[in-house]
Amino acid sequence: MTPHCGSVHLLTGGRRNVTRMKLPVLLVNNHSHNVNYFSPHPLSPEENVALKGTATQSSQFDSNGAAGKAIDGNRNTKYAERSCTHTKQDSKPWWRVDLHNVYTVTSVTITNRGDCCAVRINGAEIRVGNSLDDNGNQNPLCAVITWIPAGNSSSFQCNGMTGRYVNVVLPRPDFLTLCEVQVYGYTSTEENLALKGTATQSSQYNAAGAAGKAIDGKRNAKFSYHSCTHTERDSKPWWKVDLHNVYAVTSVTITNRGDCCAERISGAEIRIGNSLDDNGNQNPLCAVITSIPAGNSRTFQCNGMTGRYVNVVLPRPDFLTLCEVEVNGYLNS
């Protein structure tokens, strides 16, 4: 598997105004020890895209603590000066910005409250993605905030995660206060490559369960609606999409069946590469699916792995059903 070492950024300017330039990414193939340099988005200009967004939160403590205060461009850390958010003491308080477009997010900078209660931010999770399941709080994890000193700002690297929504969520009962959230990134040139592909699978259970149903652009999770695949009970059931070109794959989103048998997806492997040995099931591993709740979609980060074929394979005897497979990426140059 080809690991992604992340982007290197040059920062200039003062605390409030930052100019960033994206340098080429270094990829190292551990198997062949070849080193490849490529810049998928050469010198892409980054900006604080949160300033264009719309913010919401789990609740509002008082009239001063509206969600939009975290994206007003003001890092003032005194709550009384009306530039910080504030929830009530919720069971799992959260804040979210809708960027109104899918962006490649390189980093998120959080400014913590300075006049009180700095420890409340400890343990907060930054999540980035396209799902609104659980208000977006189940999207892929960028970082966990261990600590930000009172009145300070800290940046967290997201290494090119893609998404429309950026959440900050505390996975415990507490208040959540944010004095500024800056989301640095650029408009994503990615697309769902699977829509252009051709799908095959190890077998077909019946006429309704054809392999192409997983790339029809529909996330309908009921098998009876003819939008999910279904193999027979094979010794190692698999599904594959041929993208017809070599792409850099940033993430794969899987929609699980909702009307039955959700546990069947558990343990499935997502593999990406150019080999058709064993029908592509020996290509490098992107992720193992531990579970996806019935009818839900989950996104798995592949961090720019390259390949023509994307497989989902169960390494055990079982049925395999997929209600949608979305392969996000861009042409590998």
Among 163, 187, 211, residue at a domain's last position: 187
Asked whether residue 31 is domain-assigned, the answer is no
State how far the Cα of 258 lies from the Cα of 223, in Å rounded to an integer: 8
Q: What is the DSSP letter of 306?
A: E
- Average pLDDT over the chain, rounded to whole? 86
Residues 167 and 202 in one domain: no
Q: Which residues contact 213 (CB under 8 A, 6 or more apart)?
A: 226, 227, 228, 229, 322, 323
State how far the Cα of 95 lies from the Cα of 217, in Å rounded to an integer: 29
pTM over 0.75: no
Above 60 in pLDDT, residue 28? no
pLDDT band of 186, cuts 50, 70, 90: confident
Residues 234 and 125 in one domain: no
Residues 131 and 237 in one domain: no
Residue 45 is predicted with a pLDDT of 58
Strands 35-38, 25-28: parallel, antiparallel or unpaired by DSSP? Answer: antiparallel
Average pLDDT over residues 87-92: 98
Residue 277 is predicted with a pLDDT of 97
Residue 101 is predicted with a pLDDT of 87
Above 70 in pLDDT, residue 4? no
Asked whether residue 10 is domain-assigned, the answer is no
State how far the Cα of 136 lies from the Cα of 94, in Å rounded to an integer: 9
38-42, 220-224, 236-240, 299-303: the lowest-pLDDT one: 38-42
State how far the Cα of 169 lies from the Cα of 175, in Å rounded to an integer: 10
Among 133, 161, 187, residue at a domain's last position: 187
Phi/psi of residue 18, each to 5°?
Answer: -125, 130
Alpha-carbon distances of 75 from 59, 67, 125, 309, rounded to whole Å: 21, 14, 20, 46
Q: What is the CATH number of the domain that holds 199?
A: 2.60.120.260
Q: What is the DSSP letter of 93?
A: -
Above 50 in pLDDT, residue 194? yes
pLDDT digits (tens, 9 = 90+) for 114-133: 999 999 999 999 999 888 88
Residues 308 and 275 in one domain: yes
Residues 176 and 53 in one domain: yes
Residues 262 and 158 in one domain: no
Among 120, 155, 187, residue at a domain's last position: 187
Tokens of 132: 């609104």
Above 70 in pLDDT, residue 255? yes
pLDDT band of 299, cuts 50, 70, 90: confident
Residue 32 is predicted with a pLDDT of 29
82-86, 185-189, 203-207, 281-285: the lowest-pLDDT one: 185-189
Domain that holds residue 131: 47-187
